Structure 1
Amino acid sequence: MQKKTTCLSVVASLFLATNLYSQTEQLSSIEVTSSYLSSNEKTATFSTEIYTKDEIEKSKSKDVYDFLNSQTSINIAPNYGNTFTQKIDLRGYGIGDGYQNVVVTVNGRKLNNIDMQSQLLSSIPLESIEKIEIIKGSGSVQYGDGANAGVINIITNGKNDNYVMAHMGNDDTKGGTLSLGFNNENLIINALVDYSSTNGTREDSLNNKDSNHNRNRKVEVIYFPTENLELRAGRTLSDMRLKYAGPLTKDKYKNNPNQSNGFTEQYFNSYLTTLGTTYNLNENYSFDVNYNREDKLSKFVGSSESQYEYESFNTSFNIKKDNYSIVIGADTFDGDRIKSTNVTNKTNKALFVSADYQFSKDLKVSAGLRREKVEYDYNPSSGDSLSTAEYLNAYDVGINYSLSDSSSIFANYNRAYQTPDIDRFFSSTLTNVGGTWIETVSSFNGFIDSARVRNYTIGYNNIQKNNKLKVSIFRSELTNEIYYYKTGPFSGINTNIDKSHKYGIEIFDKYIINKNLYTSINYSYIISKIDKEDEGNGAYNGKDLPGVSKHNLTLNLGYTYKKLNTILSHTYRSSAYAANDFENNFDQKQEAYNSTDLSASYNFKNIELFAKIQNLFDRKNGLWISDDNIYPVNFERTYYAGIKYKF
């Protein structure tokens, strides 16, 4: 039957991969379900890193950010203390602005914002995720603007399990989830309610703490009215309120990272509507259409407020034959940020085509191109309006050759781009408010150039029943990399690095030792260099891009005995230059990050008991912005425990 191709085939592949893993007996090549063109880890013409629902659940991570930072090659850090919109770095774009160089999607919907707000991954309950696919150095043809480093695809499609879960931890941490799912031959209905809160870890002289709460509610319906037609509709509501503490000097950070000189209080809410349909004309041809509408509010309590209205639409015509696949598509995005003094709009419109061809049993080739128009409009309440537009192109060519039934080599060339967000056109000043640096836009500094990058990747995959090995080597050559240039101690403008480059090696290996024991390693060595930058009068030339760790490592040792599962993991990021140290001459550097975590779960019939200790050895970690401007991050031992009941 064809009617459940899009949704239920995904569920089936995830179920198979999950069960293979849970038996701890053999590994397999997992399908890349977020790509328009079908492939798997072994036959993909680009670098992949994939995590199944079973792996996500067994990690007992507290949220999406925790999982990405502790289990994958991605570097995560709170956004100047804000734990709900954390910064993301993939392939050496820096912990400062790296999040703008990677596209993050949920079921194909982009989470990237039109301004300098990071992607709001806190609106995605970890329990709802079926799979996470990390596409490195590719994805610009399908996803366009911002996919310089690659794409993080989060997939939640499929029928929900029926369960209720609750947990508690130190610092008055608590949370709960109710998940409901129903399905029959023609209908899938999902509902999920998720809540978490904490009293905070940092405290000021008045005994105020950085408390927060997060609530997410989601309803989704998938209906199959005919053999070949799938209809989808969903509604998601998220609201968050948090206080986050300001930076500390190095002495205060070393003596007591729990202290704070003041807090910033922020409120988020998001109302998301999703609609979609897939129609299979026959086994070879299909249409796919998706529409998303999101209304958001970001408010700094006692200060500024921004409303956002995002609309996106994408459609594709898909052709799948025995030895080739072709996708022709279009997508649009229309985003408004509404403030009391102005309305700013960014619009993206694109056409793309992508194809792959299986020349023989062992040889596969893929190619694609994208043409995108980006428009900006700035309408202040007083003064002249401003507008501009730009056309950009993305290309991708890849090849995969199977050496045997278990191994392959691949090579990929990718051309990507990142257009400036709407904040980049304005200079700004920094003001210390209660110990927190607040950026204030002051004047228009010009329409800066878009960044462009050429990515080259070669790799080797070897996937056997007891071992999965992936190795890739990459080089990225950039023009007009976007960054913030300081013109004074508390002021600066947004501009471009004329030329820069990055290169490195990425190694992933997972080894099943026996039916009870496995181990995995995820390591990357990355060099990120500034070749030429006229804005700093040559002072940045030849320097390392700040905020990039050369060595990034996650280690896991998992043990399963009957109904008991345990995972011991360690995350390491080597020292780097502070996030604002473009001249590489600050007195203080970003110190190395270390965290050892231990999780355990026990299953008895329909009940699961679980617990996790983070930062087991109580290591101090922080995010260095500049000298004596340090945000403590995962700086103390924390723990939580809970129970999950399936019905």
Structure 2
Amino acid sequence: MNHRFIPIAILVFVLISLWLVPIWAEEETENGEASKISVVVTANRIPTKESETTAEVTVITAGEVQESGVTSIVDLLERVPGIQFRSDSTTAKSQISMGGFGESSFGRVVVMVDGKRLNNPDMSSINWQSISLESIERIEVLHGGGSVLYGSGAIGGVINIITKKQSDPLSLSISSTLESYQSFKEAISAGIARGNGSLSVSGDYYSSDGYRDSSEQQAAHGKITGNLYPTSKLVLDLGLGYSYNYYQMPGGLTKDQLEDDPTEAVNHADESTEHILSADLHGEYQATDKLLFDTLLGYEYKNFSPDMPSWGSYYYDNIYHSLSFQPQASFETTAEGHYPITMVSGIDTRYSYLDSSTYDSAERNNATAETEVSLLSLGGYTNLEVKIGDSIGASGGFRFDGADIFTDDDNAWHIGPAWSIGLRWNPDENSKLYLRHERVFRYPFTDEQITYGTFLPDLEAEKGYLFETGGSIKISSLLEIKGRAYLNLMKHEIVYNTATSQNENLDETRRIGGETELTLKPKPWLTMSGSYAYVLPTFIHGDNEDKEIPLVSKHVAGASLLFALPHRLETELGTSYRGSSYQGGDNANTQEKVDGYVIVDASLRWKPTTRMGNLTIIFSVDNLLDENYASYVYYNSWSDTSSYYPGQGRSCTLSGRYSL
């Protein structure tokens, strides 16, 4: 298949659909089926209609999560335009990328659960299997920068996973999934609500032998949440969670090995185990109709123990302690009695401590190195939203933020101010056009500041300037078009240099990009969707001037067709395309490019009629054509070798879910 024609096909699909829109819109209006769409999101850290945010926001609802049939949040988020994943081990440790970032891209996306950060203080990526799909109420994806409201790392995007709050007197949900490679997942959630409180519990277990040899994975999670409403103005939420994750790391292949047998493993003893304990206390106090106080206090303990004999007998015990405190106040008023103003102000405080020990054997009797490093950050922010009439809105915000990364002997202080301004026009209630500018930043990870035991005091924090325009058009449930175009100018991006074995600041970089998404429902039985994302990431100064930034595909596209069939059946056919990119570590663009690829997926959903509750059965096939491709490729200039990490081959999944 000629991959160059995929973006052209998506564009043709979009143009034809736009040409047919007036016909379909007229038909639906004549049938009297038009309805308004109003989605409330928390992109501004307070509930706001999506059409009144000065940014592009994608919302994934609980229903869409349940009907997807996926076993991982990675598979769910990959369907969102502008989001890419790559992995050098398992799906659980996939690295997310938004906004055209390559190495350590996960450091430029803030990921939260109910407003609490999941990002680690060091370079270890988020463990996506620690997020239970059963507990998700919705997922909000903010495309583009958000440093004013969310601080360090909110450069490419922000993802907030919002969990369910028990409101029904009784709820119960049970699901079971069987998948290829001897994979299965069981999940259960239940809850009760009485008087001034509610209680909910959820848990799941996942096990898989993996697509490749030596890629076994196991994960178990449990969470209990209590909600208390002492008065009509006060809400208290307490959550306690535990997560266990075990996975093997089969290692990178040569290109010949990838083409000959992508399931092969070169590391048969590399593995890792994680234990995570978390506790969160969230409170809301509605002082007046216009004034709301919100506070989040969170603690997390993580024990991360990788065994890496392939690295020369390296065995690690990494123990993390993280404490966060986030008080916030939001206030509504009017200027001169005509212009409604919403102000959000708050403080973000975070302390993280890492105790890392290296041993010479799996028994961990003899420690060969030990590092203790802490990060203390404090930031204050204010953001204003002003409505000028019924259709114009303006926004502006500022954050002053500082972080200290320190050991017993050394420390580095970083300052990350951020600001934003924006203008929005709503031609109708559910559509918008916007312009915005934001100054963004990211502090170094703790193990970027300390490389193999060496403290790097001259390593600078990343900073950038984002210019963006975009909008959305919604015509009832018939049509939705969303898109944005952006320019991101970055300074001091941090990457690891294999030639010097140190983390270093890059020369200035530039990203010019755009994303568009189209959803059409011309008939009650047909839903069509298409998306396309483009980004040109380049170095604009230094030895690699005009070279492309590695690990970034310039073209990413997708399309799907969903048919509603008789007898409560639905079938969906989807395809996704990722263009070629340069290998990680190849800043000079001298190595062979990583080939692009096309993935085709198909699924069949059945919702049979039941006397009580709801039952959904889903059968899906991912990578239907069994495409052999590399999810991630990294070039080591010191050894002059490239490591290819295969993506997963064809996989079949059968899942069932029952809920009251």
Give the alignment's TM-score, normalised by structure 1. 0.88
Instruction: Please state whether the residue corresponding to 2:50 is helix, strand or coil.
Output: coil
Moved over 4 A (4+): 24-27
After superposing the two structures, state which structure 1 stretch, 230-239 or 561-570, moved more: 561-570
Per the alignment, in what secondary structure is the counterpart of residue 116 of structure 1? coil
Instruction: Kindly state the Cα deviation for residue 167 of structure 1 after the two structures are TM-superposed.
Output: 1.4
Corresponding residue for 2:99? 91
The answer to whether 1:281 aligns with 2:310 is no
Contact 1:70 1:570 in 2 (8 A): no
Equivalent AA in structure 1 for residue 551 of structure 2: G
* Counterpart position of 2:57: 48
Question: Which residue matches 1:130?
Answer: 137
**Cα shift readout 1:251-309 (whole Å, capped 9, x = no counterpart):** 11001101112232100110000001100012111111110000001101371110000
Matched, 1:557 2:561: yes
Of 610, 624, 632, the residue aligned with 2:646 is 632
The one of 403, 416, 419 aligned to 1:392: 416
Q: 2:383 — aligned with what?
A: 354
Aligned to 1:8: none
User: Quick one: which of 295, 302, 305 aligns to 1:296?
Assistant: 302
Moved more, 609-618 or 183-192: 183-192
Match of residue 570 from structure 1: 575
Aligned positions of 1:183-582 closer than 5 A: 183-203=193-213, 209-263=214-268, 264-301=270-307, 303-321=315-333, 323-340=340-357, 341-379=370-408, 385-427=409-451, 441=452, 443-465=454-476, 466-487=478-499, 492-533=501-542, 538=543, 540-561=544-565, 562-582=567-587
How many angstroms apart in 2 are the aligned matches of 1:328 and 1:42?
22
The letter for the 2-side match of 1:456 is F
Match status 1:114 vs 2:121: yes
Contact in 1 for aligned 2:405/2:411 (Cα 8 Å): yes
Residue range with higher mean Cα deviation, 289-298 or 478-487 = 478-487
Q: Deviations over 1:196-231 (max 9, x none)?
A: 11112222xxxxx32110001000011111110000
2:15 matched residue in structure 1: none
1:63 and 2:76 aligned: no
* Identity within the alignment, %: 23
Q: Which amino acid aligns with 1:461?
A: S
Partners of 1:285 and 1:445 lie apart in 2 by 45
Residue 33 (structure 1) aligned with residue 42 (structure 2):
yes
Q: Equivalent residue of 2:411, what SS? A: strand
Conserved in 1, the CA contact under 8 Å of 2:134 and 2:202? no
Contact 1:355–1:368 (CA<8 Å) still a contact in 2?
A: yes
Match of 1:595 in 2: 599
Letter in 2 for 1:550: K
User: 43-52 vs 248-257, which deviates more?
Assistant: 43-52
| Corresponding letter in the other structure for 2:624 | L
Q: Distance in 1 between matches of 2:284 and 2:223?
A: 21
Equivalent position of 2:620 in the other structure: 612
Query: 2: CA distance between counterparts of 1:227 and 1:576?
Result: 55
Residue 558 of structure 1, CA deviation: 1.3
In structure 2, the residue matched to 1:642 is 655
Q: CA deviation at 1:499?
A: 1.0
Any gaps of 5 or more consecutive residues in structure 1? 1-23, 204-208, 380-384, 428-440
| Partners of 1:159 and 1:181 within 8 A in 2 | yes
SS, match of residue 114 in structure 1: coil
The offset of 1:336, in angstroms, is 0.5
CA distance in 2, matches of 1:496, 1:625: 19
Instruction: Answer with 179-188 or 570-579: which moved more.
Output: 179-188
Deviates more, 1:130-139 or 1:446-455: 130-139
Task: Evaluate the alpha carbon distance shift between residue 85 and residue 388 of structure 1 in structure 2; reply closer, same or farther with a 3 A threshold.
Answer: same
In the alignment of these two chains, the number of paired residues is: 589
For 1:296-351, what per-residue CA distance to the aligned partner results, in whole angstroms no more than 9, with x for missing partners?
01101371110000000101111124611111111100000112312100111011
Change (3 A) 1:315 1:371: same
Q: RMSD over aligned Cα, in angstroms?
A: 1.7
Instruction: Check conservation: 1:413, 1:454, Cα contact below 8 A.
Output: yes
Secondary structure of the residue that 2:501 maps to in structure 1?
Answer: strand
CA distances 1:47-79 after superposition (whole Å, capped 9, x unpaired): 22222222222222221111111344200111x
Instruction: Read off the aligned partner of 2:172 and give its amino acid letter.
Output: N
How far the C-alpha of 1:616 sits from its partner, in A, is 0.5
> 8 Å contact 1:37–1:326 — kept in the other structure?
no
Distance in 2 of aligned mates of 1:376 and 1:405: 46
Rounded Cα–Cα distance in structure 2 between residues aligned with 1:496 and 1:121: 28
The Cα offsets for residues 9-49 of structure 1, whole Å up to 9 and x where unpaired, read as xxxxxxxxxxxxxxx98672422134324432322111222
CA distance in 2: counterparts of 1:646 and 1:459, whole angstroms: 39
Deviation for aligned residue 1:408: 2.3
Structure 2 stretches lacking a partner, 5+ long = 1-32, 309-314, 335-339, 358-369, 636-640
Q: Deviation at 1:393? A: 0.5
Q: What one-letter code is carried by the residue in structure 2 that aligns with 1:92?
A: G
Indicate if the aligned counterparts of 1:566 and 1:598 stay in contact, CA closer than 8 A.
yes
Matched ranges for 1:147-166 at <5 A: 147-159=154-166, 161-166=171-176
Alpha-carbon distance, 1:244 to partner: 1.8
CA drift at 1:389:
1.5
**1:25–1:512 Cα contact (<8 Å) kept:** no
Q: 8 Å contact 1:25–1:515 — kept in the other structure?
A: no
Q: CA deviation at 1:109?
A: 0.5
Q: Is the 8 A contact 1:25 1:514 kept in 2?
A: no
Q: Give the deviation of 1:642 after TM superposition.
A: 2.2
C-alpha contact 1:497 1:532 (8 A) present in aligned 2: no
Cα distance in 1, alignment partners of residues 142 and 254 from structure 2: 38
Assess if the C-alpha contact under 8 Å between 2:331 and 2:343 holds in 1. Answer: yes
The 1-side partners of 2:386 and 2:145 are apart by 18
Q: TM-score, normalised by structure 2?
A: 0.86
